Amino acid sequence: MDLLQAIKERHSVRKYIDRPIEAEKVAAIKQFIDECNRESGLHLQLVTEEPLAFSTGLFSYGKFTGVKNYIALVAPKQGDYREAIGYQGEKIVLFMQTLGLSTCWVGLTFKNIKDAYVLNPGEELKFVIACGYGEDGGVQHPQKKPITHYYSDKRGTGEPLPDWFMRGMEAALLAPTAVNQQKFLFTLLPNGRVEAKAKFDFIGYSHYDLGIVKYHFEVAAGKENFTWA
């Protein structure tokens, strides 16, 4: 499975079966995460066979079952790493999709098991991404608005939008966003430049979402076809 196929097949999954992730896949994921951390300055980590974060009893949240594996999204407290967390986290999500694993971004409905991951001085846990073998492949959320709502063309030429731009937009709309809010706008500028901005949202997640949708756009549009403004 390549990344374009992974984008199309990835859906948020909240129910997982009791099947450990194979050792060779764990090793591949950890190596991939190390590369993401070197690129971004984040401290993302894979946690395996840890059932307490989504356990039953006091910390049971109903929607998630069988979760024993997750990505701990750890970042420095100082500085704005919101977009980087979304971008790198979604890189890992799509990589795991190519390995046949399911995932789901999780903001609040988990218990912070502090000894399950490493937290260096000046760092904090932002989110987790549940992962493993899902009971099913999940379903795609319906698109709330037409694709034209999510982009603008400021080239001033009147020419048709490039195919690569539309491929990127279609992939961006398949990206997971908090409560499926899709609070973003892409703008095509002269000379093959693209600007992507997060819109205001009341829950404060749109800048994380922006990193997620920008990675989807890059994969489908092709980084060789444009530059970020």
60: pLDDT strictly greater than 80:
no
Tell me the domain boundaries of the chain.
3-132, 147-228
Give the pLDDT band of residue 56 (cuts 50, 70, 90). Answer: low
The pLDDT > 90 percentage for the chain reads: 86
**Section 82-99 average pLDDT:** 98
CATH topology of domain 3-132: NADH Oxidase (3.40.109)
Return d(Cα 66, Cα 133) in angstroms, integer: 9
Q: Residue for token digits 């060779």?
A: 24
DSSP string of 147-177, one letter each residue:
GGGGEEE-S-S-PPPPHHHHHHHHHHTTS--
Q: Quick one: average pLDDT of 62-77?
A: 92
CA 208 to chain centre: 8
- The string of pLDDT tens digits covering residues 91-114 is 999 999 999 999 999 987 888 999
For position 202, what pLDDT does the model report? Answer: 82
Single-letter code of the amino acid located at 61: Y
Overall size of the chain counted in residues: 229
Do 3-132 and 147-228 come out as alike in CATH topology?
Answer: yes
Query: For residues 55 and 210, which has the higher predicted lDDT (pLDDT)?
Result: 210
pLDDT over threshold 80, residue 58 = no
- Mean pLDDT along residues 26-35: 98
Question: Is the model's pLDDT at 130 over the cut of 50?
Answer: yes
Q: What tokens appear for 176 in the block?
A: 């997971």
pLDDT for the residue numbered 61:
46
Q: Which two tokens stand for residue 14?
A: 């909240």
Residue 57's pLDDT band (cuts 50, 70, 90)? low
* Tokens at 18, concatenated: 């009791």
* pLDDT of 63: 82
Per-residue pLDDT at 95: 98
Nearest alpha-carbon partner for 174 in 213, 207, 200: 213
What does the longest C-alpha to C-alpha distance in the chain come to? 61
> In CATH, what number does 147-228 get?
3.40.109
Would you give the distance in Å from CA 10 to the centre of its chain?
10
Q: In the predicted model, what is the mean pLDDT of residues 121-143?
A: 91
Q: What is the pLDDT of residues 160-215, one digit of tens each?
A: 999 999 999 999 999 999 988 999 999 999 999 999 999 988 888 999 999 999 99
